[in-house]
Structures are given as C-alpha cells and as structure tokens.
Amino acid sequence: MADRKRARRVRPVRASAALRGPAELGGDIAPHVRAVLAAIGEDPDREGLLKTPERVEKAFRFLTKGYREDVRAILNSALFSVCYDEMVVVKDIEVFSLCEHHLLPWFGKAHVAYIPKEKVVGLSKIPRLVDAFARRLQVQERLTVQIAHALQDAIRPRGVGVVIEAMHLCMIMRGVEKQNSVAVTSCMLGGFRDQLQTREEFLSLIKKKHDGLG
Ligand SMILES: [Zn+2]
C-alpha cells in the first residue's frame, strides 16, 4: 500500500528532475514560465508540461527576435538608384506580432507603398522590414508608423503609405470584440498624405483581388 502510494507520487517528480537543472532550462525565461504554470494552479511536473517552459522560452525568443535586428542595415543593404517615379506597392505581407498589453498574438496583413525620388529598395527587404518591427511586443498603431518612418528615413521617397489590417487574439478570445473583427491602421507620409489621388490609387491597389483575412 505504502509502496504503491509512493510509486504514484514519485514517478512524475523523477521524470521532471532531469529538466529542473538550469542547464536544461536554458535561458532566463523558462524558470519564470514554470512559476506561471504553478501560479495558475497547474502542476509543472506533469508529463504534458515538463518541456513547456523551454518551449515557451524558445517561442518567445523567436517571436521577439526583431529587437536584435538592425532595420537600417536591412534597408541600406539593398538601395539602388533607379529612374522610376511611379508607385511601388508590396501588398498582403503577412504580419505576426504580440500585443504588448497581453502578450497574445495579433496577426494580419500589411500593405506598403512608396513613390521613389532617387532610390528604390530591393522588394524583398520590405517584408523583412515589416518582420523586424513585428517580431517585438507591439501595438498595431506603432508598428504601422515605424514601418512608414523607417522607409521614409532610408530612401527619402516622395511619399510612403502603410496600411495594416489585423485581428487581435486579446480582443477576440476575451470576447471584447465580435469574432472576425479586423482593426485597420494607416500611416501616410508625403505625397500619400497631401494628395488625395495618390492615396486613393494606393487604397484601390490594395483592395484589388484582396482576399481579406477570413
Ligand atoms: Zn492585447
């Protein structure tokens, strides 16, 4: 009887012992995740949760890797002088970020446009720019402005337009907003702000064949 009782209690503890050491836990985040698990009434030693602190740490390091990216270097590595002064639009760029108020994901699409003056930037750098700012703790409004200003500073174009459409799990999951409600933010600089026609051209280009988020 006593043996059976002990076996039942000891087993999960043994299984977790190897993961308790700081080396196995990796960095600074995992022990805190373990504490959170205990605080919400979970048993951090049960099988399904044994590796969760490490996994969460890895996930958080990935989802916040934008802090370690040099936005200026990304853009400066691909600036070209080109005789082109029509609008450049990169639309439907996937955005995945974490809201800084709840650490819950928010995700959607970014549309970025500019009208070059002397320089253009390699098209593949624009999604990288979006990612560098999105992989941080963010609010959608700030992300929108940061992308626009980074582009403005790097290539000094005639204007920049950024629109982001996104869904926030902190709103949807907590029932603050109706399911599927999409938040739209925009930042218009230079010609995109001053000229209605430019702004409308941009907005109609991103609407075209737009498949939405749903
Ligand atoms: Zn939130």
Q: Is 83 a catalytic residue?
A: no
Q: How many CB atoms lie within 10 A of CB 39?
A: 9
pLDDT value, residue 8: 40
The rounded distance, in Å, linking the Cα atoms of 178 and 190 is: 35
Give the Å distance between the CA of 99 and the centre of ligand 1: 5
Task: Summarize the confidence of residues 80-105 as an average pLDDT.
Answer: 95
* Per-residue pLDDT, 9: 41
Distances 119 to 28, 78, 129, 159, 193 between C-alpha atoms, Å: 43, 10, 17, 12, 20
Read off the pLDDT band of 177 (50, 70, 90).
low
* Span 5-50, pLDDT tens digits: 444 443 333 333 333 433 444 569 999 999 999 999 999 999 999 9
Please indicate whether residue 94 is annotated as part of the active site.
Answer: no
Contacting residues for 162 by C-beta, under 8 A, at least 6 apart: 110, 111, 112, 113, 144, 145, 147, 148, 151, 186, 187, 188
Q: What's 169's domain CATH number?
A: 3.30.1130.10
105 and 203 together in one domain = yes
Q: Is 100 a catalytic residue?
A: yes
What are the tokens at 33?
């995740």
Note if 168 is an active site residue.
Answer: yes
Whole-number Å distance between alpha carbons of 49 and 144: 36
User: Measured in angstroms, how far is the CA atom of residue 169 from the centroid of ligand 1?
Assistant: 7
In a domain, 212, yes or no: no
Helix (H, G, I), strand (E, B) or coil at 102: coil
- Is 99 found in the same domain as 54? no
First to last CA, the chain: 57
* Domain-embedded: residue 83: yes
Look up 32 and say whether it is catalytic: no
Report how far ligand 1's centroid is from the alpha carbon of 20 (Å). 31
Q: Are 79 and 33 in a shared domain?
A: no
In angstroms, rounded to a whole number, what is the distance separating the alpha carbons of residues 148 and 100? 20
Tens digit of each residue's pLDDT (9 = 90 or more) over 98-127 = 999 999 999 999 999 999 999 999 999 999
Q: Do 113 and 196 lie in a common domain?
A: yes
| Number of domains the chain is built from | 2
| Single pTM value for the model | 0.82
- Domain-terminating residue out of 44, 63, 82: 63
Q: Please report which residue ranges of the chain form alpha helices under DSSP H.
A: 2-20, 22-25, 30-39, 52-63, 71-76, 125-134, 140-155, 169-172, 191-194, 196-207
**Looking at the structure, do residues 201 and 119 belong to the same domain, yes or no?**
yes
DSSP state of 86: S
